[in-house]
Amino acid sequence: MENVYKGKRILITGAAGTIGSVLINKLLQQDVKEVKALDNNESELFYLNDQYRKEPRYNGFYADIRDLDRLKYLAKNIDIILHAAAMKHVIISELSPFDAVKTNAEGTLNVISAALESPSVNRVIYTSSDKAVNSTNVMGTTKLLGERLMTSAANLKGTRNIIFSSTRFGNVIGSRGSVVPIFYKQIKEGKNLTITDERMTRFFMTAEEAVNLVIEASLLAKGGEVFITKMPVMRIMDLAAAMVNLVAPKFGRRPEDIEIEFIGAKPGEKLYEELMTEEETARTYELQHMFMVKPSIPPIYEHIDYDCYETIISKEVDRPYISSTEQHMSVDDIKNYLIRNNILACLESGGHIAASSRKESSSHSYFYQEATNISDVSEF
Ramachandran assignment for 223, one of left (phi > 0), alpha (psi -120 to 50 degrees), beta (any other): left
pLDDT at 377 over 60: no
Q: Residues 6 or more apart from 153 whose CB is under 8 A from it?
A: 112, 115, 116, 124, 164
Integer Cα distance of 310 and 339 in angstroms: 33
Pairwise CA distance, residues 169 & 187, whole Å: 28
Please count the structural domains in the chain: 1
Number of DSSP helices (H) and strands (E) in the chain, helices first: 14, 15
The proportion of the chain whose per-residue pLDDT surpasses 90, expressed as a percent, equals 72
- Asked whether 337 and 232 are in contact (CB, 8 A), the reply is yes
pLDDT at 177: 74
pLDDT for the residue numbered 169: 86
- pLDDT for 48 beyond 80: yes
In terms of residue numbers, what domain contains 339? 2-376
Mean pLDDT is lowest, of 181-195, 261-275, 332-346, for 261-275
Residues 355, 359, 365, 368: is their CA dihedral positive or negative?
Answer: positive
Q: What is d(CA 78, CA 119) in angstroms, rounded to the nearest whole number?
A: 9
What is the model's pLDDT at position 367?
46
- Look at residue 346 in the predicted model and tell me its pLDDT: 83
Give the count of beta carbons closer than 10 Å to the beta carbon of residue 198.
12
For residue 46, what are the contacts with CB-CB under 8 A and spacing of at least 6? none
* pLDDT averaged over every residue in the chain: 89
H or E stretch covering 171: strand 171-172
Q: Which of 194-208, 243-257, 262-276 has the lowest mean pLDDT?
A: 262-276
Distance (Å, whole) CA 226 – CA 231: 16
Give every CB contact of residue 289 below 8 A, 6+ residues apart in sequence: 213, 216, 229, 230, 311
Digit-coded pLDDT (tens) for 298-310 = 888 888 888 887 7
DSSP 45-92: HHHHHHHTTT-TTEEEEE--TT-HHHHHHHTTT--EEEE------HHH
Whether pLDDT at 72 is above 90: yes
Closest Cα partner for 328 from 209, 231, 241, 245?
231
Residue 353: predicted pLDDT: 55
Question: What CA–CA distance (Å, rounded) separates 352 from 337?
Answer: 18
Provide CB contacts within 8 A for 304, sequence distance 6+: 154, 222, 223, 224
Would you say residue 174 has pLDDT above 90?
A: no
DSSP 103-158: IIIIHHHHHHHHHHH-TT--EEEEE--GGGTT--SHHHHHHHHHHHHHHHHHHHTT
Number of Cβ atoms within 10 Å of the Cβ of 197? 15
- The type of residue at 241 is A
pLDDT tens column, 137-163: 999 999 999 999 999 999 888 888 999
* pTM for the structure as a whole: 0.87
Pairwise CA distance, residues 338 & 250, whole Å:
15
Which residues on neighbouring strands pair with residue 226, listed in sequence order?
Answer: 166, 293
Q: Give the type of residue at 165.
A: S
Q: What is the CATH number of the domain that holds 88?
A: 3.40.50.720
- Active-site residue set: 131
Range with the lowest mean pLDDT among 33-37, 146-150, 172-176?
Answer: 172-176
- The confidence score (pLDDT) of residue 267 equals 72
Whether residue 380 is predicted with pLDDT greater than 60 in this model: the reply is no
Q: What is the CA radius of gyration of the chain?
A: 21
